[in-house]
Amino acid sequence: MLILTGFVLGALLGYRAAHRRGGNTLDKAQYAGVWGIGGAILGLFATLALGHAGIGGL
């Protein structure tokens, strides 16, 4: 669940960053995709860390 949350949050932040920099539609899509993947990777590591710590029922 943290992976999906990280992806969505990252995509929203990436879209916002591209919008603030005055990017066109493709720039916003690219930023959203890259930041979304980065957020998903962070969510993956958070899921693994919580599982290793015994939190979260993995």
Q: Which tens digits make up the pLDDT trace of 25-46?
A: 999 999 999 999 999 999 999 9
pLDDT for residue 58 is more than 80: no
Considering the entire predicted model, what is its pTM? Answer: 0.88
56 Cβ partners below 8 Å, 6+ apart?
Answer: 47, 50
Of 16, 53, 51, give the one whose Cα is nearest residue 3.
51
